Amino acid sequence: MDRAYIRAIDRCVIAAASLLSLGVCWNVCIMNPDEGAKVMLLDDRSANAPGEELISQWLEAIRRPNPGDYGGLRDFRELPDGARVEQNSRFWSQKFFTDAANPYLQKPAAPCSTHPATTDTFDVLRHEYDIFGQHLIVDETVNVILVTVEQPLESFLNQPEQQKHHEINRIAGLLLRMRGTMVAPNLQDAPYRWTFRFPTTIGNGMRFSTNAQEDPARMWSWASRMDGGIYNDRLYFLCFKQRESTSGKILVPDGRHWFDGKCWAAFSPA
């Protein structure tokens, strides 16, 4: 399917979902340890717009390179800031993936390749491997991890919606830590649980979220939001590498300068 067409659908569906969601309650899936699962009612999705634009731009930039644009990576030291890239990638992989699906825990080791940024693409680290009978492509930038289940979904998309929900949740649960611990704004550990809020109909080009209200650039934590969607007949999940905002600084590092480390220079003390 034509990429521009997919992008257009993506945006239209997001807009449509926004309209549909008016008057609909959205779950904030952060559990209060004292009260169990706590549901907070949100009625204003206006904050979505900047976040949705940013996410769409990120996804487009990640998907822009062709497979042939990737080159194999044998050792992170091949990258200018390789030690930091490796630590960063391992840290977030441990955070988001179940142990079984963690690209760094695969045996044999999952092949790794890189795509160096251009003016309209990012530095992307790619792991490709099979797990649970699925072929995964894990594309990682300094801001996100995009997990694509590389298996066409033609039959899946014809299933009843409930069946789709069940299947998406099942696969997400196999691959990702759908519940765990985060650092709450009070600086204490607190449990989180991701639960997708699905649109009425799931189809190609659609994206859904655990908390579409959150702006990925401003949200408190990586646990505040996780997205999923269907793109090119493939199921994908999108995790945001947003450290808990305990510094008071808003950090959105430049995805074009992950491998050379220059993306961090902006956040060093003067």
Q: How far is the CB of 71 from another protein (least distance, A)?
A: 20
Q: How far is the CB of 9 from another protein (least distance, A)?
A: 19
Span of 127-135, 169-177, 193-201, 262-270 interacting with another protein by CB under 8 A: 262-270
- Interface with another protein (CB under 8 A), residue from 66, 119, 155, 162: 119
* CA quadruple 205, 159, 20, 45: dihedral, nearest 10: -60
Work out whether 254 is an interface residue with another protein (CB under 8 A): yes
- Interface with another protein (CB under 8 A), residue from 104, 193, 251, 260: 251
- Interface with another protein (CB under 8 A), residue from 8, 25, 78, 267: 267
Contact 150, 137 (CB under 8 A): yes
Q: Which one, 158 or 268, has the nearer CB to another protein?
A: 268
Angstrom distance (rounded) from CA 111 to CA 108: 9
Q: Which one, 155 or 186, has the nearer CB to another protein?
A: 186
Q: Where are the beta strands (DSSP E) in 94-178?
A: 112-115, 124-131, 134-140, 144-149
Burial class (CB in 10 A: 0-12, 13-18, 19+), 142: buried
Residue with tokens 């450290």: 243
Window 98 to 117, contacts with another protein (CB under 8 A): 117
Contact map string, positions 13 to 52, toward another protein, x by CB under 8 A? -------------------------------x-xx-xx--
**Residue of 10, 98, 42 whose CA lies nearest to 210:** 42
Four-residue CA torsion sign, 87, 195, 200, 40: negative
Contact map string, positions 46 to 85, toward another protein, x by CB under 8 A? xx-xx--xx--xx-xx---------------------xx-
Angstrom distance (rounded) from CA 161 to CA 167: 10
Window 132 to 171, contacts with another protein (CB under 8 A): none
With CB under 8 A, what is the number of residues at the site for another protein?
58
**Residue of 20, 23, 24 whose CA lies nearest to 12:** 20
Work out whether 2 is an interface residue with another protein (CB under 8 A): no
Work out whether 211 is an interface residue with another protein (CB under 8 A): no
- Interface with another protein (CB under 8 A), residue from 43, 91, 173, 201: 91
**Residue of 217, 224, 239, 145 whose CA lies nearest to 183:** 224
Axis-axis angle for helices 48-63, 3-21 (nearest 10): 160
Contact set with another protein (CB under 8 A): 44, 46-47, 49-50, 53-54, 57-58, 60-61, 83-84, 86-88, 90-91, 94, 117, 119-122, 183-189, 215, 217-218, 220, 243-257, 262-269
